[in-house]
Structure 1
Amino acid sequence: MPAPKMIPLETDAPGLAVGTLTPSDRLPLPAEQPEDWRPDWIRRLSESGPVDLSICIASWNCIDYLRKCLESLHDIPQGVRLETIVVDNASHDGAAEMVAKDFPEVLLVRNSENKGFAKASNQAAALATGRYVFFLNNDTELPAQTLRKLLDYAEAHPEVGMIGPKLLGGDGAVQISYRRRPSLLAMLHRTSILRWTGLFRGEYQRYRRDSFQAREARRVEILMGAAVLMRRDVFEQCGRWDEDYHFGGEDIDLSERVGRQYPLVYLADVEITHFGRISSRQNIEFAAPNVLIGYVHYFRKTGTSRLALAAYKATVTIDLPFQLLGKSLQLLWRTLRGQSVRAAKTRIALRGLWHFARHELTRFWKA
């Protein structure tokens, strides 16, 4: 794969059958594995030699999407020797059983509860044997030779710490595949009471949209965690995923830490379909509060003052009634207009807001 022209990003920021396994069949856990990780069982396929790439998938439900994802990895030529590790976070739709039955070549770990994306991804990486690890969402599909292209670039550029492809939605539209580092002002723009003022619109645009050029390979600040490739030694050296993030913000954090030592690169000519928000919409009560808490954790880690964090938390709290009112009116409007699909999305968002307001504010303030 020829190396794409790099455009710097301007920035002002410095095989076993399925069944009962005996203890000898179990893959031994690394010595440093946290004590609270006790998967129900691990099933593995004996390998005849080393692999190039370990695919690490943290999964919760989404059985149909996960099936298509695994089919794209194992039934479509990818041009690499790979292993796939799925860590199931206590799915209740039969996703884990589907993997065990239909994909015997996949190493499967079953957790007894939803441990979040970061912890499940670390569990997968701890079992990886490939020279590279590729963290992949369960609602993705890869065209033929995608992994070969990514691996070729990584081999040709060992100085690069993390590589991300272009993400396409299920409709083929390009998704934002990288961003700049977020700022507290950009997050304040997301609140209803400040968005209408336009005070921080420029900061939000700078963070989320202005820097994104879908057609250009370039060095970037933050890669989306839906699909990122790293050398396994770089991943370990940079501290793995921070397990204090349960859902949301962990990709920003890992990008930040890797970026201190290595370049991060977005490859525009490598495309992956990412349907997006499939698991989070099924479990909005888990996702919605953890996204907000994840941002607080990130800002605290990166040196934001206590006063600034308190101001942000207060603004989010004061904004909650306005968010609830706005979403309620939006739901009514979309329902009256017969927009059933859009109304369903609003209803999910509203449910997440209610859960956050009633059950998660204390945890938010303690973050």
Structure 2
Amino acid sequence: MSENTTSTPLVSIITINYNQSAVTCQLLDSLQHVTYPSVETIVVDNASPDDTPEIIAERHPWVTMVRSPENLGFAGGNNLGVLHSKGQLLLFLNNDTEVEPGFLEPLVDVWRQHPDAGMISPRIIFYFSEGRNTIQYAGARSINPVTGRGSKIGFMETDTGQYDETRPTDYCHGAAVMVPLEVIRTAGLMPDLYFLYYEEHDWGEMIKRRGYSIYYCGSSRIFHKESMSTGENSPLKTYYMTRNRIIFMKRNRSRAQYLAFLLFFIFLSVPKNVLRLSRNREWDLLRAFGRGCRWHLERHRLQGDPVLAVEPDGSYRISRTPSTS
């Protein structure tokens, strides 16, 4: 890991638009006031079927617009943005966030002060909370090897400055995470088999296995309009959260831990969810939960994880590790 000596490295901010041009423009409006002097912004439109993403470039001509011919999901869309980036540091930022003018400098400082920093996330505040002072994320605890669930530090607490420090943490938050380009070249791109949810946790495991650490930066703050893309309790979210929870455990826990998780999931989690969703007559969510479980009973051959390759002319392309079943 090289020493960080560049005073103002270029930061490439990458965000995904999917049927939310107005929301994306609100983020870009806030980014126009950023005080950090070396920034480029890349917006990847993920093949929005019911939107007019042209308005983004019309209102913000300083943005690099990338149009994907298909919906690549959260990870795939961000990886496409990486191919069009030039920065030494890459900040993956949800389009349903807004930022404070000085939020970037502390993140860059953490990278500069901690050569082992592989991922850095700021403090995240619920945008719609009263007074905008309710915490969504101030670091995270490791995902439990039995339940497959993690927890966020500070979640739903009133922000009174109790999490202003910078410290190592177990996981980043996918709504806002800075990753040095060097780390992506070493550990690989965001694993896109997930499509939505859990990909940042798996990516964090990949990066930690390469000897890097994850940091929470309490002196940087952004605001998150939670679940504007998928809905708080949508069938889409239920399906991918169920499916991907199992994928994550299979890929990132020992065989014994994975077996313990499966026993917990089959005999406790499945009955609990079926009972809860049936009692509430949430039949669409129940069907989505069933599809997420059933996916693992089918035979799937998955393409390998995406890896960033550098061409002789300095441009990037995506290659793949060997495929898995």
What TM bracket, shorter-length normalisation?
0.7 to 0.9
Specify the SS of the correspondent of 1:79.
Answer: coil
The whole-number CA distance in structure 1 between the counterparts of 2:284 and 2:69 is 24
Matched, 1:229 2:178: yes
CA distances 1:246-276 after superposition (whole Å, capped 9, x unpaired)? 1111111111222231121111111001111
Instruction: Specify the code of the residue in structure 1 equivalent to 2:294.
Output: T
The 5 Å alignment of 1:18-29 reads none
Q: Which has the larger radius of gyration?
A: 1
- Equivalent residue number for residue 63 of structure 1: 21
The 8 Å contact of residues 221 and 259 in structure 1, kept in 2 or not, is answered as: no
The whole-number CA distance in structure 2 between the counterparts of 1:154 and 1:181 is 22
1:227 deviation in Å? 0.5
Task: Pick closer, same or farther for the CA change 1:86–1:51 going to 2, 3 Å.
Answer: farther
The 5 Å alignment of 1:148-159 reads 148-159=105-116
The whole-number CA distance in structure 1 between the counterparts of 2:19 and 2:51 is 7
1:145 deviation in Å? 1.9
The whole-number CA distance in structure 2 between the counterparts of 1:282 and 1:101 is 31
The 5 Å alignment of 1:238-249 reads 238-249=187-198
Specify the SS of the correspondent of 2:53.
Answer: helix
The 8 Å contact of residues 137 and 153 in structure 2, kept in 1 or not, is answered as: no
Specify the SS of the correspondent of 2:147.
Answer: helix
The whole-number CA distance in structure 2 between the counterparts of 1:77 and 1:267 is 17
1:105 deviation in Å? 1.9
Specify the SS of the correspondent of 1:222.
Answer: coil
Task: Pick closer, same or farther for the CA change 1:365–1:59 going to 2, 3 Å.
Answer: farther
Q: How many residues align?
A: 278
Matched, 1:216 2:165: yes
CA distances 1:285-331 after superposition (whole Å, capped 9, x unpaired)? 33221111111111111234364454345244433431213433xxx
Percentage identity across paired residues of the two chains: 26
- Equivalent residue number for residue 238 of structure 2: 288
The whole-number CA distance in structure 2 between the counterparts of 1:229 and 1:351 is 38
- Equivalent residue number for residue 137 of structure 2: 176
Specify the SS of the correspondent of 2:137.
Answer: coil
Structure 1: runs of 5 or more not aligned: 1-49, 188-203, 329-349
The whole-number CA distance in structure 2 between the counterparts of 1:102 and 1:351 is 41
Specify the SS of the correspondent of 2:40.
Answer: strand
Specify the SS of the correspondent of 1:248.
Answer: coil
Specify the SS of the correspondent of 1:362.
Answer: helix
- Equivalent residue number for residue 3 of structure 2: none
The 8 Å contact of residues 166 and 266 in structure 1, kept in 2 or not, is answered as: yes
1:166 corresponds to which of 107, 117, 123: 123
Matched, 1:314 2:266: yes
The whole-number CA distance in structure 2 between the counterparts of 1:355 and 1:107 is 39
Task: Pick closer, same or farther for the CA change 1:283–1:106 going to 2, 3 Å.
Answer: farther
Structure 2: runs of 5 or more not aligned: 1-7, 156-161, 301-325
1:216 deviation in Å? 3.1
The whole-number CA distance in structure 2 between the counterparts of 1:357 and 1:269 is 38
Instruction: Specify the code of the residue in structure 1 equivalent to 2:177.
Output: V
1:128 deviation in Å? 0.9
The whole-number CA distance in structure 2 between the counterparts of 1:283 and 1:99 is 28
The whole-number CA distance in structure 1 between the counterparts of 2:107 and 2:291 is 42
Matched, 1:275 2:275: no
The 5 Å alignment of 1:179-190 reads 179-187=140-148
The 5 Å alignment of 1:75-94 reads 75-94=32-51
Tell me the C-alpha RMSD between the 2 structures: 2.6
The 8 Å contact of residues 198 and 241 in structure 2, kept in 1 or not, is answered as: yes
The whole-number CA distance in structure 2 between the counterparts of 1:360 and 1:152 is 41
1:264 corresponds to which of 214, 238, 255: 214
The 8 Å contact of residues 313 and 365 in structure 1, kept in 2 or not, is answered as: no
- Equivalent residue number for residue 123 of structure 1: 80
Instruction: Specify the code of the residue in structure 2 equivalent to 1:55.
Output: I
Task: Pick closer, same or farther for the CA change 1:51–1:93 going to 2, 3 Å.
Answer: farther
- Equivalent residue number for residue 53 of structure 1: 11
Task: Pick closer, same or farther for the CA change 1:98–1:250 going to 2, 3 Å.
Answer: same
The 8 Å contact of residues 63 and 93 in structure 1, kept in 2 or not, is answered as: no
The 8 Å contact of residues 278 and 286 in structure 2, kept in 1 or not, is answered as: no
1:354 corresponds to which of 286, 306, 323: 286
The 5 Å alignment of 1:102-121 reads 102-121=59-78
1:351 deviation in Å? 6.3
The whole-number CA distance in structure 1 between the counterparts of 2:232 and 2:146 is 30
The whole-number CA distance in structure 1 between the counterparts of 2:52 and 2:163 is 33
